[in-house]
Amino acid sequence: MLTAYYKSIGKTYEMPDFYGGDQKNDGWVVEDAVFYQVFAPTRLKDSLKKEIQEKFTADLSGLLKIIYDENKWSGDVKEFIFIVNTIDNNLPHDSERFFDNKVLEFKKKYNLDFKYRVVNTDYIRDTLYKIEDIEILKRISATLRIKSMIDFNAITETIITDLIIGISGNLNEKLMNGATERTYDRISTIKKIDINGLSVKKDEIEDIISKLDVVENAVNNINQDVLSENKFERVKNFIIEKYMELSAEYKGIDLYEKLIVLVLSYSQDKWNLEMSMRFLIVYIFDKCDIFEKIGDEYDIA
């Protein structure tokens, strides 16, 4: 991940071969003389604070010795970044300023000045947020399987899941209560199904359209979250984007089914939520945001 980030800003991040001995260097930025060390304790126990202090001291001491006594790694250090994998927990407190005092001790010993940071994996997330090239983020996500750390997937996945779970709950309630009242105002006509090559799915789509109030209620609920505005618009735009990508290769039934499968892949419970996803896709279909529309329909987007 750091290799991709530094390459994106025109700098070189090198990682020594683990089996060749890291010489107290888990990776470094050549141009800036920034050195990384990563500490991954196997268990977060009561002695974690002491273990971090001891590991920090040993790694920094070893790195400075290798750089200044043995003249390795270009003979200079400008910054030392010590990453602790606390498994999304906070770092132990440092009220006694152990790290400040230890670094000051090393600065005096070697008569030099350098920066240091002791961080947890939030540092990695913060670095990801700095990457503006979406293609680089996609490559990182595919390589490391860390979609939840990357904004373009994490937000989409969370919102889509929230929305289709809401649809599922509304649908179950409607079916259990045997409700037949229709409160949804349809926009598309039956002709839209035919002109888009979806005649085989006509009964399914018509049945879903007759119950689309369950989607509209879920949309209204999710949009009430004041901490995240325009949730449905973001989901809708995401689905339109995927529709446009797929429509270059697929048509009719294939396009309809591929779109459902693709968007469903962004939720964790694919099988239980498939019907709700079909409702969501048909809702956006009826609003004329996806699939070809005809003259007496209109786009409300």
State the pLDDT at residue 153. Answer: 40
Q: Quick check: helix, strand or coil at residue 80?
A: strand
> In the predicted model, what is the mean pLDDT of residues 177-199?
83
85 against 222, higher pLDDT: 85
> Tell me, what DSSP letter sits at residue 8?
H
Task: Write the CB contacts of 139 (distance below 8 Å, at least 6 apart in sequence).
Answer: 4
Joined tokens for residue 290 = 């996806």
pLDDT confidence band for 75 (50 / 70 / 90): confident
> In the predicted model, what is the mean pLDDT of residues 249-262?
93
pLDDT at 300 over 50: no
Q: Quick check: helix, strand or coil at residue 34?
A: strand
Joined tokens for residue 136 = 């680089």
With a pLDDT cut of 90, the percent of the chain lying above it is 36
Q: Which amino acid is at 76?
A: D
Which region among 78-82, 225-229, 241-245 has the lowest average model confidence (pLDDT)? Answer: 225-229
pLDDT tens across 86-132, in order?
766 788 899 999 999 999 999 999 999 999 999 988 888 788 777 76
pLDDT tens across 211-242, in order?
888 888 888 776 665 445 567 787 888 889 89
- The residue ranges of DSSP E strands in the chain, in sequence order, are 13-14, 27-29, 34-39, 79-84, 115-119
Query: Scanning the structure block, which residue is given the tokens 């202090």?
Result: 53
Exposure letters 169-196 (e unless 16+ CB within 10 A, then b): ebbeebeeeeeeeeebeebbeeebbeeb
Exposure letters 19-56 (e unless 16+ CB within 10 A, then b): eeebebbbbbbeeebbbbbebeeeeeeeebeebbbeeb
pLDDT tens across 127-159, in order?
877 776 666 666 655 544 444 444 444 444 556
CB atoms within 10 A of CB 60: 22
pLDDT confidence band for 295 (50 / 70 / 90): low
266 against 201, higher pLDDT: 201
Which region among 27-31, 53-57, 292-296 has the lowest average model confidence (pLDDT)? Answer: 292-296
Q: Cβ(164)–Cβ(273) under 8 Å?
A: yes
Joined tokens for residue 215 = 């989607």
Q: Cβ(63)–Cβ(45) under 8 Å?
A: no
Cα 8 to the chain's mean position, in Å?
A: 19
CB atoms within 10 A of CB 165: 17
Specify the pTM.
0.48
- Tell me how far CA of residue 26 lies from CA of 15, 36, 37, 41, 59, in angstroms: 6, 6, 5, 15, 10
pLDDT at 286 over 80: yes
